[in-house]
Structure 1
Amino acid sequence: MRIALFQPGIPQNVGAAIRLSACFGVGLDVIEPCSFPLDDKSLKRAALDYGPLAHLQRHDNWETFLKAPERTEGRLLLFTTRGATPFHRFEFQAGDTLLFGNESRGAPEEVHEAVQGRIVIPIRADTRSMNLATTAAMALGEALRQTGGFPE
């Protein structure tokens, strides 16, 4: 199981994803460019002391991410407000990569076309979206529950 962030725009969300990666032992892919400098100093500040425990891979761009060895296993699943299947009805598999778009722009059409599934977390009609880190935590929790992937 992996989490992937497409061109994230908020360092605190990357920090929260680093903590998710560390706490649950899942891989984390950050697909650049980011809207902030993704250097060791900013990562340490955002991730607190969890950075060394995370399984972080940085990718220069979308094409590099798609060619990475980590991508040879499992499906690429995009969480999007344009998703077709609610996350609680989707059947996750242990090798899945859970992909999340940029906080303000989402994911471009080329990303939508490359994925094997588009998933939505249903929210009230009078709201627009949830925080990226919250969405990633909910999605990962459901995926790990279904696949028996929680740490012992």
Structure 2
Amino acid sequence: MNIVLYQPEIPQNTGNIARTCATTETKLHLIKPLGFSLDEKHLKRAGLDYWDLLDLQIYESFEDFIEKNNDIQLYILTTKAKKFYNTIDYDEDGYIMFGKETAGIPSGIHQAYPENRFRIPMRNHKRARSLNLSNAVNIVLFEALRQHNFQGLI
């Protein structure tokens, strides 16, 4: 599996996600600009000593990401979708994309992939807009891994 973070802003979230990716043999893709330096202590601390286990790729833009990963199955997590994350049949090598913490994924990307959008169900309340990014990644990634019988994991 692949996790894609579109312009992540909070280093602790990305560090937690990096740790999850390292322990599940999931590749992590980061699309710039990032809201932090990759040398930031909060990022490193959240990822603990797992950084050498992580398969990490960084891209200059979404266009750069698509150019280097053409013909992929892209799944987009968004609060604007109708389908729930557990109704998706995840491709074994699928790319699950999450937007930045404060703004999500831009409408242009939504328009380019209208059938590939899904969401995590939650209450309908104007202040309860979304889950923490690292929690959302864990929920969806483990569903995708479950569908493939946690292949390669013990």
TM-score of the superposed pair, with normalisation by structure 2: 0.89
Q: Where does residue 148 of structure 1 map in the other structure?
A: 149
Q: How far apart are the structure 2 equivalents of 1:8 and 1:63?
A: 16
Match of 2:121 in 1: 122
The within-5 A match list for 1:132-147 is: 132-147=133-148
Aligned 8 A contact 2:29 2:58 in 1: yes
Q: Mark the CA change 1:51 to 1:73 in structure 2 (over 3 Å): closer, same or farther.
A: farther
Deviations 1:11-70 (A, max 9, x none): 0111011111101001100001011223375642331101111111111111111111xx
Report % sequence identity: 37
- Secondary structure in 1 matching 2:131: coil
Native 8 Å contact 2:12 2:42 kept in 1: no
**What is the one-letter code of the residue matched to 2:138?**
A
Distance 2:66 2:71 in 1: 11
Distance 1:146 1:73, change over 3 A: farther
2:14 counterpart of 1:14: yes
RMSD of aligned alpha carbons: 1.7
TM-score, normalized by length of structure 1?
0.90
Q: Secondary structure at the match of 1:58?
A: strand
**Distance apart, 1:84 and its partner CA:** 2.5
Correspondence 1:1-152 to 2 at 5 A: 1-39=1-39, 43-68=43-68, 71-72=69-70, 74-115=72-113, 117-126=116-125, 127-150=128-151, 151-152=153-154
Alpha-carbon shift at residue 100 of structure 1 (Å) = 0.2
